[in-house]
């Protein structure tokens, strides 16, 4: 026989929030370009299947921080970093197969970078490099990724056309589709909507909400309301330091922990 206390306990257990798992753990990350340090020992966790918003004024270190996660920072000759970045418990700095890391952590830059090939081949390029040969599989993946990037309906009749002939906004969405073709576990979006009209931006935002069930998303944006719409948690980075990290609801409310957060999200500075 189950007592009323037992019923209450069972109900509480059923309604308890699921345990949070960290996808990425960053500890004391310092980054310098030459002698200039631009990240000053930042430490925080990124949860699995969350959208984490990252906001802050220009030159705060947001893009640099993203580039450390999948080691594209390695392409900058005078960049050096210390600290630790763990992805699923594996130390990024010790990974020998950096290409596998970059497939795991996809990146979309602020401005479109189209490959000089067809729309179809732009999306199919990475899967082919990973060994996907089946035409039917490639066709399905290309359609899925272009649909997720809100581009399929506009290009499905001209997939053989050069991707570089698309408009700026379409090329940016093609870049998003190409990043999704890696089937990443983490998707880093660095000002993805800078070259996209507001209507298309909203369509992609709806897709990102759905993608959260499949991957972790890190959204760097200067549009603070975009972070407010999409992110469960938001990180406010300023001059290479974390001012505040917490629930988006609390940070955009009337009483965030730091007055600078209130001033920034309300447009008083930035």
- pLDDT (tens digit per residue) in 57-84: 999 999 999 999 999 999 999 999 999 9
Per-residue pLDDT, 76:
95
Model confidence band, residue 248 (pLDDT cutoffs 50, 70, 90): very high
**CA 218/CA 106 separation, integer angstroms:** 10
- 3-state helix/strand/coil string of the chain: CCCHHHHHHHHHHHHCCCCCCEEEEEEEEEEEECCEEEEEEEEEEEECCCEEEEECCCCCCHHHHHHHHCCHHHHCCCEEEEEEEEECCEEHHHCCCHHHHHHHEEEECCCCCCCCCEHHHHHHHHHHHCCCCCHHHHHHHHHHHHHHCCCHHHHCCCCCCEHHHCCHHHHHHHHHHHHHHCCCCEEEEECCCCCCCHHHHHHHHHHHHHHCCCCEEEEECCCHHHHHHHCCEEEEEECCEEEEEEEHHHHCCCCCCCHHHHHHHCCCCC
Residue 166 CA, distance from chain mean position: 24
Mean pLDDT of 128-154: 93
18-46 pLDDT, tens digit each: 578 999 999 999 999 999 999 999 999 99
Q: Sign of torsion, CA 246 251 256 260?
A: positive
pLDDT in tens, 143-187: 999 998 889 999 999 999 999 999 888 888 999 999 999 899 999
Domain definitions of the chain by residue range: 21-112+183-265
Please check the confidence at residue 14 and state whether its pLDDT lies above 70: no
The answer to whether 245 and 236 have CB atoms below 8 angstroms apart is: yes
Q: What pLDDT score was predicted for residue 2? A: 43
Let me know if 124 is exposed, middle or buried by CB neighbors in 10 A (0-12, 13-18, 19+).
buried
pLDDT on residue 194:
83
Q: How many CB atoms lie within 10 A of CB 17?
A: 5
Distance CA 107, CA 45 (A): 18
Give the closest residue to 183 by CA, choosing from 221, 211, 154, 222. Answer: 211
Q: What phi and psi values does residue 73 have, to the nearest 5 degrees? A: -65, -20
| Side-chain-side CA neighbours of residue 144 (13 Å) | 13
Mean pLDDT rounded to a whole number for the chain:
90
Range scoring the smallest mean pLDDT among 5-14, 141-150, 204-213, 236-245? 5-14
168-181 helix and 135-148 helix, angle to the nearest 10 degrees: 130
Specify the CATH class of 21-112+183-265 in words: alpha beta
């Amino acid at each position: 026989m189950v007592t009323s206390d037992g019923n209450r306990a069972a109900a509480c257990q059923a309604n308890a929030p699921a345990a949070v798992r960290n996808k990425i753990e960053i500890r004391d990350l310092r980054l310098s370009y030459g002698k200039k340090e631009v990240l000053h020992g930042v430490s925080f966790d990124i949860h699995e299947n969350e959208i984490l918003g990252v906001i802050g004024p220009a030159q705060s270190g947001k893009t640099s921080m993203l580039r450390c996660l999948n080691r594209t920072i390695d392409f900058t000759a005078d960049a050096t970093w210390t600290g630790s970045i763990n992805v699923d418990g594996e130390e990024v700095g010790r990974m020998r197969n950096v290409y596998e890391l970059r497939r795991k952590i996809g990146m979309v830059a602020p401005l479109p970078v189209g490959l000089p090939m067809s729309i179809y081949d732009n999306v199919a390029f990475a899967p082919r490099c990973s060994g996907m040969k089946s035409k039917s599989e490639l066709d399905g993946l290309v359609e899925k990724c272009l649909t997720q990037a809100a581009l399929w309906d506009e290009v499905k009749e001209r997939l053989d056309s050069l991707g570089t002939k698309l408009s700026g906004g379409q090329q940016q969405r093609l870049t998003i589709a190409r990043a999704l073709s890696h089937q990443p576990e983490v998707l880093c979006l660095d000002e993805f909507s800078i070259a996209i009209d507001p209507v298309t931006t909203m369509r992609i935002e709806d897709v990102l909400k759905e993608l959260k069930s499949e991957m972790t998303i890190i959204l760097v944006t200067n549009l603070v309301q975009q972070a407010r719409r999409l992110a469960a948690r938001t990180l406010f980075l300023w001059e290479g330091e974390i001012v505040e990290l917490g629930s988006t609801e609390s940070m955009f409310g009337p009483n965030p922990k730091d007055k600078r957060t209130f001033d920034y999200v309300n447009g008083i500075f930035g």
